[in-house]
Amino acid sequence: MHAAKGDVLRAHRRYAEAIPEYETVLASNRNYVYGFFALGQCKLFTGSIEEAIPLIERAIRLSPRDGQLGVWHEQIGDVHLLQSHVEEAVRWLEKARNLNPAHSMIRADLAAAYGFAGETERAAAELAEARRLSPDDRYSSLARLRAVYTWGVPKIRTLREATYFVGMRRAGMPEE
In residues, how long is the chain? Answer: 176
Q: How many CB atoms lie within 10 A of CB 176?
A: 7
Answer yes or no: do 150 and 76 share one domain: yes
Answer yes or no: do 76 and 156 share one domain: yes
The structure's pTM equals 0.95
Answer yes or no: do 18 and 82 share one domain: no
Last residue of a domain, one of 28, 43, 64: 64
| pLDDT confidence of residue 61 | 97
Of 123, 124, 131, 115, the closest CA to residue 165 belongs to 115
Answer yes or no: do 77 and 148 share one domain: yes
Answer yes or no: do 110 and 80 share one domain: yes
| pLDDT confidence of residue 149 | 85
Answer yes or no: do 40 and 75 share one domain: no
* pLDDT tens digit sequence for 44-80: 999 999 999 999 999 999 999 999 999 999 999 999 9
Q: Buried (b) or exposed (e) across 23-57, using 16+ Cβ within 10 A?
A: ebbbeeeeebbbbbbbbbbbbbbbbbbebbbebbe
CATH number for the domain harbouring residue 25: 1.25.40.10
Give the structural domain span for 129: 67-176
Of 106, 126, 104, 105, the closest CA to residue 170 belongs to 126
Is the Cβ–Cβ distance between 107 and 126 less than 8 Å?
yes
Answer yes or no: do 97 and 170 share one domain: yes
Is the Cβ–Cβ distance between 139 and 115 less than 8 Å?
no
Answer yes or no: do 168 and 147 share one domain: yes
Answer yes or no: do 128 and 162 share one domain: yes
| pLDDT confidence of residue 118 | 98
- pLDDT band for position 8 (50/70/90)? very high
Amino acid at 80: H
Answer yes or no: do 72 and 104 share one domain: yes
Q: Answer whether residue 167 shows pLDDT above 90.
A: yes
Q: How does the average pLDDT of the chain come out, rounded? A: 97
Answer yes or no: do 80 and 154 share one domain: yes
Of 98, 97, 116, 114, the closest CA to residue 106 belongs to 97
- Total domains in the fold of the chain: 2
Is the Cβ–Cβ distance between 136 and 145 less than 8 Å?
no
How far apart are alpha carbons 171 and 119 in whole angstroms? 8
| pLDDT confidence of residue 76 | 98
Helix 164-171 to helix 69-82 angle, to the nearest 10 degrees? 100
